[in-house]
Amino acid sequence: MRFLTIRFWLWLISNVLGHLVSLGIILLLALAVNWSSVSQKVITTSSDADLRSLAPLIVIALTDGIVVGLLQLVVLRHYISKASFVSWILYTAVGSICAWLAGLLMGVGVFFIAGPYGGLIVAGGIAGAIVGSAQSRILQRNSYELYSPTSTSWTASNALAGVIAVFIAGGLVGNWTGVTWSLLNGGLEGWLVSVAVAAVLYSIPTGYCLSKWAYQAA
């Protein structure tokens, strides 16, 4: 475990701060736009309904991807070229949008078959795999001072991280589905704590993988 250096802990801290900051930005945007009043307007077509339901999700995913991707560069600036910084943020943001949409759709489908916990596991795994696959393109092509980063290992570590984070934080600590037992129910406190727990849990497998590559390359 000697490769769990200061950069592992910086990775963990940057992810936690990234998710909490993005949550704060999203809450401020919700207050500024007054989304609840927008959502109550009369829906004239099915496309309006689809757009109204997807728009908040896309905004959340985009905000989270940009902020987290930006703060992850606190650590990754040691491993990837400066020319790849913008690409890292872009791939993380786009991957986040795809992950949220695909994870939610697949998770809801599994929800009716395997229950809320099964839905959370599938949603977390799919979301993590998508983000990891997007980010792995940057690590694989533009990294230095990392020992043979591969698309498969980074995607797998993110998928595992997603399963652990969403299952525990969303189904045991928080109540993301609204129907599971949890330590904390709804409200701002529940979201803040569960998001922080999710970020910590997500950072452990991914930070382990990143730190091991850096240690093996040293």
**Is residue 89 included in any domain, yes or no?**
yes
Alpha carbons 23 and 27: distance in angstroms, whole number: 6
**Is residue 209 included in any domain, yes or no?**
yes
Alpha carbons 162 and 103: distance in angstroms, whole number: 10
Q: What are phi and psi of 143, to 5 degrees?
A: -90, 155
Range of the domain at 128: 6-27+49-217
39-63 pLDDT per residue, tens = 444 444 444 445 556 778 888 899 9
**Is residue 44 included in any domain, yes or no?**
no
**Is residue 33 included in any domain, yes or no?**
no
Q: Mean pLDDT over residues 99-119, rounded?
A: 84
Q: How many domains does the chain have?
A: 1
Alpha carbons 195 and 165: distance in angstroms, whole number: 9
CB 64 within 8 A of CB 22: yes
Task: Decide if pLDDT at 216 tops 60.
Answer: yes
pTM, two decimal places: 0.84
**Is residue 211 included in any domain, yes or no?**
yes
Q: What are phi and psi of 80, to 5 degrees?
A: -120, 155
Task: Decide if pLDDT at 12 tops 50.
Answer: yes
The pLDDT-based confidence of 215 (bands split at 50, 70, 90) is low
Q: Mean pLDDT over residues 163-191, rounded?
A: 81
Partnered with residue 143 across adjacent β-strands are 80
Instruction: Tell me what pLDDT residue 41 has.
Output: 47
Cβ neighbors of 29 (< 8 A, separation 6 or more) are 59, 63
Alpha carbons 49 and 42: distance in angstroms, whole number: 9
**Is residue 73 included in any domain, yes or no?**
yes
Choose between 151 and 8: higher pLDDT.
8
Q: Tokens for 65?
A: 């991807």
Q: What is the per-residue DSSP string for 42-62?
A: PP-SHHHHHHHHHHHHHHHHH
**Is residue 147 included in any domain, yes or no?**
yes
The dihedral of CA 113, 117, 118, 124: what is its sign?
positive
CB 124 within 8 A of CB 162: yes
